[in-house]
Amino acid sequence: MPGNVQSVERAAAILRLLAEQNEPLTLSQIATALGLAKGTAHGIVRTLAEVGFVEQDQSNGPYRVATEVFRLGWARLDQNELRSKAINWTDALAARTGESARVAAYHAGRARVAHHVFRGDGGTQVLVTGSIVPLHASAMGKVLLAFDPGAGRSAANAELTAFTHRTIIDRVSLRRELASVRDSGWAGSVGEVEPGVAGIAAPIRDGGGHVVAAVGIEGSIDRVCDDRQRPRAALVTHVVRAGRAISRELGHGREW
């Protein structure tokens, strides 16, 4: 019988170590704790980061276990399943707000529209289901960046394209924006994807509490925002409620 592969054993030890700690660990702390040469520890940690099992907030920063590891074996929510669960409450959201409503989920590096409901005013509109929304500029994208660890990691090194002069392209500002999205539980985007267009989005959680998608509305700034160019509070409430209702359909906080 062949012997154990040493680097796999060491990788497992590092994952165990990081998972047991409340705080992220630096490379030296990891090497010391496991009695490894720093170069050896570095090689293994870098590989674990490549495959998405550990992560760090900034390069050269300390390491922690990525949330992805805890979701191993959880199948990604099927986009069509998501649409079928979201359709009733997305319709109600569009009806309540008078704006077009969308649901988007993060998959393979991009946020993709899984469902689209027209604005109720009867103008000519085309379904955009399947299209991509920018992660750092749109309201739905910001929700996914803020709450979906996969999306957050993918954007860490991606270039932040300027769609308008209001798009956030500075990493520090974006990090601050995402922190405030996590605090408030919703995201806004005012003229950041297209001039004159604003969006509001909120998270959709699955039965395990993980954010698996975002639901949002989009419309002209005049309608979606108040005089100070802030998303209207009443609309924010509708969007957040729709997010909660769809989360319930996915089993979040349901008793049965």
Partner 1 sequence: MVSPRYVAAIDQGTTSTRCMVFDRQGRMISIAQREHRRYFPRPGWVEHDAAEIWSIVKRILPQALSEAGIGADQIVALGVTNQRETTVVWDPKTGHPVAKAIVWQDTRTGPLLARIEREFDAEEIRLRTGLPLHHYFSAPKLRWLLDSDPHLQDRADRGELLFGTMDSWITWNLTGGAGLDGAGIDGAAGKHVTDVTNASRTMLMNLETLDWDDELLRVFGIPRSMLPRIHPSMDSFGRTRDPLPGIPIGALIGDQQASLIGQTAFEAGEAKCTFGTGSFLLLNTGREIVRSRHGLITTVAHKVAGSPAVYALEGSIAVAGGLVQWVRDSLGLIRSPAEIETLAAGVPDNGGCYVVPAFSGLFAPYWSSGAQGIMVGLTSYVTKEHIARAVLEASAWQTRDVVDAMNADAGVPAQSLAVDGGMTADNLLMQMVADVLDIPVVRPMMAETVALGAGYAAGLSVGYWSDPQVLRRHWHRAGEWRPTIDPARRDRELSEWRAAVSLAITWGKRGT
- Cα separation, 95 vs 89, in Å, equals 10
- The CA–CA distances, whole Å, from 170 to 56, 87, 159, 163, 192 equal 19, 35, 10, 13, 13
Q: How many other CB atoms sit within 10 Å of the CB of residue 64?
A: 17
Give least dist CB 85 to partner 1, A.
8
Candidate list 25, 48, 55, 79; residue touching partner 1; CB under 8 A: 79
120 binds partner 1 (CB under 8 A): yes
**Number of chain positions touching partner 1 (CB under 8 A):** 26
Q: How many other CB atoms sit within 10 Å of the CB of residue 95?
A: 12
* DSSP state string for 43-62: HHHHHHHHTTSEE-SSTTS-
88 binds partner 1 (CB under 8 A): yes
Residues between 171 and 210 with contacts to partner 1, criterion CB under 8 A: none
Task: Assign 185 to helix, strand or coil.
Answer: coil
Nearer to partner 1, 9 or 121 (CB): 121
89 binds partner 1 (CB under 8 A): yes
Largest CA distance in the chain: 74
Candidate list 14, 15, 117, 236; residue touching partner 1; CB under 8 A: 117
250 binds partner 1 (CB under 8 A): no
Give least dist CB 211 to partner 1, A.
20
The residues of the shown chain that bind partner 1, judged by CB under 8 A, are 78-81, 83-85, 87-89, 91-92, 94-96, 115-118, 120-122, 125-127, 129
